[in-house]
Amino acid sequence: MVKNLANKIFTDLENNLLYKMLRSTTRYYQKRYQKQCLQKDYRSVRNRLAFVVNQTLFTLLICQ
């Protein structure tokens, strides 16, 4: 059941405006942190991106 829900969310996400928003946000963070591309920064970038993904999925769950 959880797997089906996850598949549905990601299918909706791909066809959704939120997918584009998430993609542009990801690009923004990638460009912003490429300049200071030290190994110690990688973890914080990954955490920020994970936060954005989680917020987007959470928003999708609430809106449906």
Question: Do 50 and 16 touch, CB atoms closer than 8 A?
Answer: no
43, HSE (Cβ side, Cα atoms, 13 Å): 2
Instruction: Confirm whether pTM is higher than 0.85.
Output: no
Q: Domain range holding 56?
A: 2-63
- Whether the pLDDT of residue 15 is over 60: the answer is yes
What are phi and psi for residue 35, nearest 5 degrees?
A: -65, -45
pLDDT for 46-58, tens place per residue? 777 788 788 887 7
- Whether the pLDDT of residue 39 is over 60: the answer is no
* Mean model confidence pLDDT for the chain: 71
Average pLDDT over residues 22-43: 66
- Whether the pLDDT of residue 2 is over 70: the answer is no
Nearest 10 degrees: Cα torsion 36, 37, 42, 46: 80
The count of domains in the chain is 1
